[in-house]
Amino acid sequence: MSRERQFTKPGTPLTAPVFYILLSLSIRVRHGYDILKHVEESSEGRIRLGPGTLYTALKRLLDAGLIAELEPDPEEDPRRRSYRLTARGRAELSGELKRMEQAIVLAGARRIRARS
């Protein structure tokens, strides 16, 4: 499956970095480094993005209309770019969370538990 099709085909699971990026932007508007730190913290250090990977993912999300870029703050460094989640992005995130919930219910029904 091409990367472009990931967001246009309903029901397709999101990749882990994309999921955590959308999750971090669902809380509030963030700039690149803020997103990076939040992704690392919320994934408990399992996902550590580099600048290239982060901005490649942000570009794809922008192109797909899941996030939007805010006008630069005149008091901030002009190189610092901030992003927010769009309604489409929120719907995509909700869909992913629903898929996860269904997976947990299914695993519970089959008595499969996560190892602690």
Partner 1 sequence: MARWADRVYALIVACYPRKFRKEYAAAMKLLFHDMLDDPRTPKRRAWIAVLNDVANLLGGLRFGALLGALFGALIDLTWYVGRTDIVPLDLSVGLVLISALFVAAGFVGARRSGTLAGGIWVGLVAGVVSGVTVPGDDLMFHNFPFYDPMSFVFTMAISAAVVMLFVILGASLPGFSRYRHRVGRSFGAFAGAWRENLD
Which residues in this chain contact partner 1 in the complex, by CB under 8 A? 32-33, 36-37, 48-56, 59, 77, 79-81
Least distance from C-beta 33 to partner 1, angstroms? 4
Which of residues 55 and 95 has its CB atom nearest to partner 1 in the complex?
55
User: Smallest distance, Å, CB 61 to partner 1?
Assistant: 13
Q: Measured from the CB of residue 40, what is the shortest distance to partner 1 in angstroms? A: 9
> Is 5 or 115 the residue whose CB approaches partner 1 more closely?
5
Pull the structure tokens for residue 90: 């929120």
Q: Residue 92 CB, nearest distance to partner 1 (Å)? A: 22
Nearer to partner 1, 18 or 93 (CB): 18
DSSP string computed for the chain: --TGGGGTSTTPPPPHHHHHHHHHHHHS-EEHHHHHHHHHHHTTTS----HHHHHHHHHHHHHTTSEEEPPPPTTS-TT--EEEE-HHHHHHHHHHHHHHHHHHHHHHHTT-----
